Amino acid sequence: MSTNINKNKLFIACCLALTVTAMTFAIRAGILGQLSQDFALSDTELGWINAMAFLGFPVATMFGGLLYNILGAKKLVLLAFVGHIVGLLLTMNAVGFWSLLISSFCIGFANGSVEAGCNPLIADMYHKNKTTMLNRFHVWFPGGIVIGALVSKTMTDMSFDWQAQIAIMLVPAVIYGYLIFTQKFPQTSNIETSTSKNIKALFSPLFLFIAFCMTLTAVSELGTQQWIERILGSSGASPMLIMAMVTGVMAVGRYFAGPMIHKFNPAGVLLYSAIVTTIGIYSMSVATGNMIYVSALLFALGATYFWPTMIGFIAENIPKSGALGMSILGGIGMFSVSMWNPVIGGWIDTARQQALAENSSLELAELAAGQATLANLSVFPFVLIFAFTVLVFYMRKQSPAAPSLATENPKKEVSCEK
């Protein structure tokens, strides 16, 4: 790897790109109510708009994963930069449902390009400490959501319109674009670059099992967060403050993920995450007022390790899947969230109508709709408890010589800075 390559600056650029990705999630969640009012949209229609953002993501990761060995990380992250700029500008100038669909897809495509380019780049640069550094990179997804949630709440409280909230994301987008343009990228040398071997590895039983689990972990984490304003808006708690708290906890947890992963191994961490996430989401479905914050904290402590540990598990235990494996896994997760978003919106609409039919006030109907939706969402991590229990026993039976995250040297993570 050339000495002219500045790994720290590349890592910072990746983190900024992921921060923009996360801010799109947070700010979109914060402005759903304004979009509903300005364009007279139902929650089901909002669900389709959300779905386009999540659908654009897997399209980009499939494209990027298949072409990573040809294009390389730099071109993929530059594609993300262009997608973010175009998507944000189109959103600011949206005039209705269809224009919001198109702009949301563009942003989703940009977000997926960030994952497709940055995950394998980081795994390659820090090949002796993949999982720790992938967790540190993914700090900036919850970190970006904290920033976005606080920006959205502050700007909403100050009566800024939703267009201004979208515009604020152009600032970090331009910064990471500049860094990508000006930095030299390394040649891929520490991940599998044979596309045929990558594709073959995707059909291994372990990859298929993890891919199935990813459909559930992604909805458990992102499905809950994306609808938090609509779900908890009448609960007596501030949805955007809850999002900021939840993602703040997740950011800290991911930054210090190394010791936990080494102590419990990735499969054990995933099982822990499934158990605590189930308790957190279900408790939110029955709590009101200040108890919502306690329940949300449980949710955060559970969902923290889902996404980066799943990516790291594939990078370490199915190395022949290469960049394609990491990209496809992320794409599968986002595709699942995309497909479930209209369903979640439908749950809210249906539960609200049922509550109103029982002569509930509108405020109580909104509360009932949110609680019913959270109860439904708790099923996803509940299923994962059984799936990850199977994974724990399976990994224990593997040969000690098999690739394992647990074999990483925890001492090395101290020397790997951003």
Of residues 375 and 242, which shows the higher confidence score? 375
Mean pLDDT of 244-252: 87
CA distance 88 to 24: 9
Which of 156-165, 259-268, 380-389 reaches the highest mean pLDDT? 380-389
Q: Where are the domains of the chain?
A: 8-184+195-407
Mean pLDDT of 277-291: 90
Across the chain, what does the average pLDDT equal? 86
CA distance 225 to 145: 10
As given in the structure block, the two tokens for residue 31 are: 């402005």
Q: What is the pLDDT of residues 120-164, one digit of tens each?
A: 899 888 887 777 788 789 889 888 988 988 888 889 889 889 999
pLDDT of res. 412:
40
Asked whether residue 222 carries a pLDDT value surpassing 60, the answer given is yes
Of residues 153 and 376, which shows the higher confidence score? 376
Q: What is the pLDDT of residues 38-86, one digit of tens each?
A: 999 888 888 888 888 888 988 998 888 888 888 888 999 999 999 999 9
pLDDT of res. 156:
86
pLDDT of res. 87:
95
Q: Are 320 and 206 in contact (CB under 8 A)?
A: no
**pLDDT confidence bin for 379, thresholds 50/70/90:** very high
Asked whether residue 377 carries a pLDDT value surpassing 90, the answer given is yes
pLDDT of res. 253:
87
Asked whether residue 114 carries a pLDDT value surpassing 90, the answer given is yes
Secondary structure (H, E, C), the chain: CCCCCCHHHHHHHHHHHHHHHHHHHHHHHHHHHHHHHHHCCCHHHHHHHHHHHHHHHHHHHHHHHHHHHHHHHHHHHHHHHHHHHHHHHHHHCCCCHHHHHHHHHHHHHHHHHHHHHHHHHHHHHCCCCHHHHHHHHCCHHHHHHHHHHHHHHHHHHCCCCHHHHHHCCHHHHHHHHHHHHHCCCCCCCCCCCCHHHHHHHHCCHHHHHHHHHHHHHHHHHHHHHHCHHHHHCCCCCCHHHHHHHHHHHHHHHHHCHHHHHHHHHHHHHHHHHHHHHHHHHHHHHHCCCCHHHHHHHHHHHHHCCHHHHHHHHHHHHCHHHHHHHHHHHHHHHHHHHHHHHHHHHHHHHHHHHHHHHCCCCHHHHHHHHHHHHHHHHCHHHHHHHHHHHHHHHHHHHCCCCCCCHHHCCHHHHHHCCC
How many C-beta atoms lie closer than 10 Å to residue 387's C-beta? 18
pLDDT of res. 409:
44
**pLDDT confidence bin for 415, thresholds 50/70/90:** very low
Handedness of CA 16, 17, 18, 19 (dihedral sign): positive
36 closest CA partner among 97, 89, 94, 92: 97
Entry pTM: 0.76
Of residues 350 and 235, which shows the higher confidence score? 350
Which of 24-33, 92-101, 245-254, 404-413 reaches the highest mean pLDDT? 92-101
> Quick one: what percent of the chain has pLDDT higher than 70?
94
Q: Is 359 left (phi over 0), alpha (psi -120 to 50) or beta?
A: left
Which CATH fold topology does 8-184+195-407 show? Growth Hormone; Chain: A; (1.20.1250)
**pLDDT confidence bin for 194, thresholds 50/70/90:** confident
**pLDDT confidence bin for 413, thresholds 50/70/90:** very low
pLDDT of res. 1:
43
CB-based burial, 141-152: b 16+ in 10 Å, e otherwise: bbbbbbbbbbbb
Mean pLDDT of 204-216: 96
Backbone phi and psi for residue 183, each to the nearest 5 degrees, phi listed first: -105, 145
**pLDDT confidence bin for 387, thresholds 50/70/90:** very high
pLDDT of res. 213:
97
